[in-house]
Every structure is written in C-alpha cells, then in structure tokens.
Structure 1
C-alpha cells in the first residue's frame, strides 16, 4: 500500500522549504529500540530517517538521521526478510517497498543515463 497523503504531508515538515519528496517508505529497525519504526524519506537533497515511534509506521515524530542524497540504500538482502543497511543500522522493509528502495537508488544523481531524446 502506498504511503498515504497524510503521512507525506507530515513528513514534509521535516524538509527544507525548497525540497520535495521523491520516494518515501516505512521500515523497521532490526534491533531492540525504543523507536523501532521509521519512515525513510528520499528527497532531491537528502535521505532522511524519520522516527514514527512504537505505535505508528506513518506518523513521523522526529528526525533521527540525515544522509547525503548520494547515499545508497541497497542492496536489499532477501535471504532473511527484506533488509538493508543505512548508517550502521539494519532495517527491514515490506516486500512491496523493495521496488521503491531500488528506484531511489537508481535515481541518485548521475546514476541514470542521459535522456537520449531531450528535445521531445
């Protein structure tokens, strides 16, 4: 299920005014933590990890970490669940968001080939 408009609107308050959400998906921290659920928000400028607390996966409460936009999220390890590492932590994502994570990695500046027909 896509992340709701309400969750996107709540996540925008953690962005710079001139920034925009490119990709967003929920994830769970794989170790015991008082804040196990997060929203991973990929913008034009950064990759942000927003804590959603223990009881919600979609209502961001605080900015936990921020990484440069060039930060790679994948590869996703599908051997024991769908996990990936970011900033020294291991996160798990639902299978439906693996494609979103992979698209965010491909969309990093410079990773996509130039448009072969820019004038169309």
Structure 2
C-alpha cells in the first residue's frame, strides 16, 4: 500500500518544497540505531533517510542520512523479511514495498524496464 499523501507532504516539508518525491517507503533499522523507524524518500536529486517519531512512523522529524540519487537501494535480501543496506544501515521493510525498492533502482539503472506511470498526477 502506498504511503498517504499526508505522509508525502510531511516529507516534502522536511526536505524542502523544491524536492520532487518519486518514492517513499517506511523501514525499521536493524543495526545502529536498532529498532528506530525511518521513511526512505527517493527524490529526483537524492535518497534521504528520515527519522520518525517513536511509535509514529508516519511523522518524519529529521534527516538521518542523505545519499546521491545514483545510490542503489538493492539488492533486497530476504531473511526472513526484505532488507536492504543503505550506507552503514540495514533497513527492514514490509514485503509490499519490495516493488518500490525495485522501481527506484530501475528508474536510474534500467529505465527502459519501467512501464509508463499510470498515475502521473500523484
């Protein structure tokens, strides 16, 4: 299930209105800082890991890390759930967001494999 427009708006407010958000998905850190909630936000310019409030994964409060857009999110490792390594962090996320991770990587590294956006106005 995609994150709501309200969550996207909160991310946009934290990142600045100039950033076009392409993909967003919630994740939990398995390494330092262990058990912390994050939103991974992919924009046209970069990849940001936003820290969220405790017990409120829909409320970003800080930019924890930033990476250039050419940063590969995958490969996804499955043990037991989907995980990625981003910088020094290991992030776990719900299986439903695996397609988001794959699409974010494909957009940069294999754009010819992406289908046309069915909802370009969102």
Do the structures match in fold with TM over 0.5? yes
Task: Report the count of equivalent residues.
Answer: 113
Q: 1:21-32 maps to which residues of 2 (within 5 A)? A: 21-31=21-31
Deviating above 6 A after TM superposition, structure 1's stretches of 4 or more consecutive aligned residues are none
Residues 35 and 54, structure 1, Cα contact 8 Å, conserved in 2: no
Equivalence for 2:118: none
Residues 32 and 89, structure 2, Cα contact 8 Å, conserved in 1: no
Q: Which has the larger radius of gyration?
A: 1
Gaps of 5+ in 1: 115-120
In 2: Cα distance, 1:35 partner to 1:14 partner: 22
Residues 10 and 59, structure 1, Cα contact 8 Å, conserved in 2: yes
In 2: Cα distance, 1:44 partner to 1:113 partner: 17
Equivalence for 2:116: none
Cα RMSD after superposing both structures: 1.9
Residues 14 and 61, structure 2, Cα contact 8 Å, conserved in 1: no
Q: How far is the alpha carbon of 1:35 from its aligned partner? A: 6.7
Q: Structure 2 length normalisation: TM-score?
A: 0.84
In 1: Cα distance, 2:34 partner to 2:96 partner: 25
Q: Which has the higher helix share?
A: 2
CA shift in 2, pair 1:3/1:103, >3 Å: same
Gaps of 5+ in 2: 114-122
